[in-house]
Structure 1
Amino acid sequence: MTYWWLSVCLLLGSAAHAQLPYQAQMPGGIKVLTTNTPEAVEAASVSLELYNQQGKDIYMYCLKRVNSARMQVVAGLKYYLDVETFRCIEEEIYLQRDNAQTFLCKFELLQVPWQNISRLLKGQCGEPIPVVGQITPVAAKDSLVQSVAKFAVNQYNVYPGNDYTYGMVQVLAAKKQLISGHKYYLDVWMAECLKQRVTETIPCTTNVSAQEFACFFVVWLKPGELGGVEFLDSTCIPFGINLGTGLSRLRSA
């Protein structure tokens, strides 16, 4: 008889614990949520709504998918979310275009359901997520762009039959394309210098009278492969007063 009552008490205790309301759950570690569950999608939607309320233009971030979701019981429910979004206006929330740029947003959301409280603790939507094959502008002064440009100039200088070698004056414009790594398209302002003045320790020095060129280079960075970088194409033409015309000719060549 005593054992029978003990078993009943244990079963009742387990059932009661499984049905504890939010405010009675024990705080603790972070739980990973399945991204397509109603709880994860609802938390992402609430985060986006609160984030959009802080915006000052007609454009909003609209939910495309939840990439990752975690939840922690604190003084309420705290969500950590990585969300893929796209830009839209209010009238087009459900009309996402196939070619729309997508953006990755990170949120920390605190909800206290029994008090009807939702508070966005942290929210940030970053640069557009690269699309395979899409060519996007990149800052000419970016350190990686500068390194790629120097590599391109060095490769151009090893071509045989030139009486001159060339030094980079400035990267004028840069674009990159996501394609099994990154392919860079560079517009570079170059000037010539005498080959005999150039060594491994003495770089090419240009002067006012040096012939100047507008060059267009294509370089492919392939992480994970032996070598990892390939010089694909180059075109250089002398330019005078109208640099813009020279670069236009390069791109159409």
Structure 2
Amino acid sequence: MARPQLLQLLLVTFLAAATQAKNSKDQQPLVGGLQEVDVNAKDVQKMRDFALKVYNQESEDPYWSKAMRVLQTHKQLVAGNKYYLDIEVGRTTCLKSQRISYDCPLMEEPPKQKDLLCSFQILSVPWEGTVSMIEYSCEDFLLSA
């Protein structure tokens, strides 16, 4: 009689452990899988700032650019966190020959106005304290009327 009860107990324990493992997998990001991330998350804001810093350093535009809005973000768990950000970037009225001002207004004069859609891939390795740009590309961003 003790044997069937032992088998039932083992079966119930196994099912409970399997259910808990499935639930914890649903909450944890899958290694290597893309996970959508809230555009307002603190880590996304840091990656946005890093992306614009690199963009402004490498761009030959005489004006500073800034993020108008983050359109979409994903994160991938690799040897660190790989971020994919799509950002609408706009040209400001401040020249790069001046100190950067974070409250610099966007350029509104049509011949000088420049809106871009930029896609950035950034690798953050928190335990090493490193953040690096993997690649980025930008193209004219045209709003459809």
Tell me the TM-score range normalised by the shorter chain: 0.7 to 0.9
2:90 aligned with 1:191, yes or no?
yes
Contact 1:167 1:205 in 2 (8 A): no
- Answer with 1 or 2: which has the greater Rg: 1
1:237 CA displacement: 0.9
Residue in structure 1 matched with residue 28 of structure 2 by the alignment: 129
Q: Give 2:70's match in structure 1, choosing from 142, 157, 171.
A: 171
Deviations 1:29-56 (A, max 9, x none): xxxxxxxxx968734735x8xxxxxxxx
Match of 1:148 in 2: 47
- Indicate the residue corresponding to 2:24 in structure 1: 104
Pair 1:152–1:39, CA change in 2 (3 A): farther
Structure 1: runs of 5+ lacking an equivalent: 1-37, 49-62, 65-82, 86-102, 106-126, 244-253
1:161 Cα deviation (Å)?
2.9
Q: 1:237 to 1:84 in 2, by over 3 A?
A: same
**Taking structure 1 as the reference length, what is the TM-score of the superposition?**
0.46
Give 1:239 shift: 1.4
Q: Which has the higher contact order (CA 8 A, sep 6+)?
A: 2
* Compared CA separation, residues 45 and 198, structure 1 to 2 (3 A): farther
Identity of aligned residues (%): 23
Distance 2:11 2:132 in 1: 43
Q: Which amino acid aligns with 2:122?
A: V
Number of equivalent positions: 133
What does 1:50-65 correspond to in 2, within 5 Å? 63=18
RMSD: 2.8
Q: CA deviation at 1:173?
A: 0.3
C-alpha displacement of 1:160: 5.4
State the alpha-carbon separation in 1 of the partners of residues 15 and 69 from structure 2: 45
State the TM-score, normalizing by the size of structure 2. 0.76
Q: Please say if 1:217 is aligned against 2:120.
A: yes
- Contact kept, 8 Å, 1:133 with 1:179, in 2: the verdict is yes
| Whole-angstrom CA distance in 2 between matches of 1:131 and 1:184 | 15
Q: Does the 8 Å CA contact 2:74/2:83 hold for their aligned counterparts? A: yes
Structure 2: segments with no counterpart, 5+ residues: 1-7
Question: Are the equivalent residues in 2 in contact too, given 1:190–1:215 (CA < 8 A)?
Answer: yes
